Structure 1
Amino acid sequence: MKGQASDTQFATCIRNDDYGASLETRKVYQLIPDSDAEHNLLRVVDESGEDYLYPSSYFVLVDLPEDIGRALPAAS
């Protein structure tokens, strides 16, 4: 697989306990760099279109091909 465009990271939601209205399981979300990552939190652009911190255990990081990585943020 090729690298992602401009270091944009993505993760798939694998659980949404207590966040059912904000996160959909099996959906790919864009991550926003954040210093709280060291506290086992990820900043995710959720269903509201805003970015919030969520437990990292709710996600699995995914490595997407470059063309998909470029297309996903543009489609949001």
Structure 2
Amino acid sequence: MAIKFVVCLEKKSLGDFSNEDVTLGRLYELVEEDAGNGMVRIIDESGEDYLYPSSWFEPITLRDSIAVRLHDALTKLAA
């Protein structure tokens, strides 16, 4: 299975949704593309996977080798 990433392009305050664990312009690993109700599940700055509004993100296409290296780098950063 290919590792997919999205880039954060928006982070409005939406009541109960915290936007503190995402950064504009940063790439995030996509865990679930359609988590229902217009949400995606990503691995955020905390290193855990959480739901966020899909409208905040756009998909990024990376070569498989780059996606694996980015995944490894983000995993180390979160540890």
TM-score (norm 2): 0.78
* Contact in 1 for aligned 2:38/2:53 (Cα 8 Å): yes
Q: CA deviation at 1:33?
A: 2.5
* Percent of residue pairs bearing the same amino acid type: 32
Choose from 40, 52, 67 the match for 2:65: 67
In structure 2, stretches of 5+ residues that fail to align are 14-18, 75-79
- Deviations 1:7-54 (CA, angstroms, capped at 9, x unpaired): 1110000011220x2110010100112662x42110010011111000
Q: CA RMSD in A?
A: 1.5
**2:27 maps to 1:28:** yes
Instruction: Pick the structure with more helix per residue.
Output: 1
Q: What residue number does 1:10 align with?
A: 5
In structure 1, stretches of 5+ residues that fail to align are 1-5
* Structure of higher RCO (CA pairs closer than 8 Å, 6+ residues apart): 1
Q: What residue number does 1:49 align with?
A: 47
Alignment size in residue pairs: 69
